[in-house]
Structure 1
Amino acid sequence: MTTSIQIFRGEKGRCLKAHGIFILLFTDVFVQNVNGYMTSPHVGQDPPYSRDAQYSAVISSPLVPAAASASPTGMDSYASKCPSGGLCSKLPAHCISCSYHHNCSYGKPASFSCKPKRGVHCIGEADQQQQTNFSLTVTCQFCWQLDASQYRCNTSTSCMTVSCPRQRYNTTCNVVDHVHCIGKRKFQKRLYCNWTGGYKWSTALALSITLGGFGADRFYLGQWREGLGKLFSFGGLGIWTLIDVLLIGVGYVGPADGSLYI
Structure 2
Amino acid sequence: MATNSQIWRVRSLKAHGIVILLVLDLCLQCVTGYLSSPHVGQEPPYSRDAQPVITSPVVPAPSSASPTDSDSYASKCPSGGECKRLPADCISCSYHHNCSYGKPASFSCKSKKGVHCTGESGQQQKNFSLSVTCQFCWQLDPSQYRCSNPTKCMTVACPRKRYNATCQVLDHVHCLGKRVFQKGLYCNWTGGYKWSTALALSITLGGFGADRFYLGQWREGLGKLFSFGGLGIWTLIDVLLIGVGYVGPADGSLYI
TM interval, short-chain normalised = 0.7 to 0.9
1:229-244 aligned at under 5 Å gives the runs 229-244=223-238
Other structure's SS at 1:182 match: coil
Equivalence for 1:254? 248
Q: Hey, what's the Cα distance between the residues in 1 that align with 2:170 and 2:163?
A: 21
How big is the alpha-carbon RMSD for the aligned residues of Structure 1 and Structure 2? 1.5
1:180 and 2:174 are equivalent in the alignment: yes
Equivalence for 2:95? 100
Equivalence for 1:121? 116
Q: Hey, what's the Cα distance between the residues in 2 that align with 1:71 and 1:229?
A: 60
Match of 2:157 among 160, 163, 166: 163
Moved over 4 A (4+): none
Other structure's SS at 2:191 match: coil
1:19-73 residue CA offsets vs partner (Å, 9 max, x unmatched): xxxxxxxxxxxxxxxxxxxxxxxxxxxxxxxxxxxxxxxxxxxxxxxxxxx9982
Mark the CA change 1:199 to 1:71 in structure 2 (over 3 Å): closer, same or farther: closer
Other structure's SS at 2:168 match: strand
Other structure's SS at 1:112 match: strand
Could you list the runs of 5+ residues in structure 1 that have no partner in the other structure? Answer: 1-69
User: Shift of residue 248 of structure 1?
Assistant: 0.2
User: Shift of residue 74 of structure 1?
Assistant: 3.5
Q: Hey, what's the Cα distance between the residues in 2 that align with 1:135 and 1:242?
A: 66
1:211 and 2:205 are equivalent in the alignment: yes
- Amino acid aligned to 2:226: F
Give aligned-pair identity as a percent: 86
Q: Hey, what's the Cα distance between the residues in 1 that align with 2:66 and 2:159?
A: 52
Mark the CA change 1:89 to 1:71 in structure 2 (over 3 Å): closer, same or farther: farther
Q: Hey, what's the Cα distance between the residues in 2 that align with 1:170 and 1:257?
A: 19
Higher radius of gyration, 1 or 2: 1
Match of 2:220 among 203, 223, 226: 226
For this pair of structures, how many residues does the alignment match?
192
Other structure's SS at 2:73 match: helix
TM-score scaled to structure 1, two decimals? 0.71
1:78-157 aligned at under 5 Å gives the runs 78-125=73-120, 127-157=121-151
- Amino acid aligned to 1:91: L
User: Shift of residue 239 of structure 1?
Assistant: 1.5
| 8 A contact 1:170–1:190 mirrored in 2 | yes
Mark the CA change 1:137 to 1:71 in structure 2 (over 3 Å): closer, same or farther: farther
Other structure's SS at 2:124 match: coil
Mark the CA change 1:160 to 1:102 in structure 2 (over 3 Å): closer, same or farther: same
Q: Name whichever structure is richer in helix by fraction.
A: 1
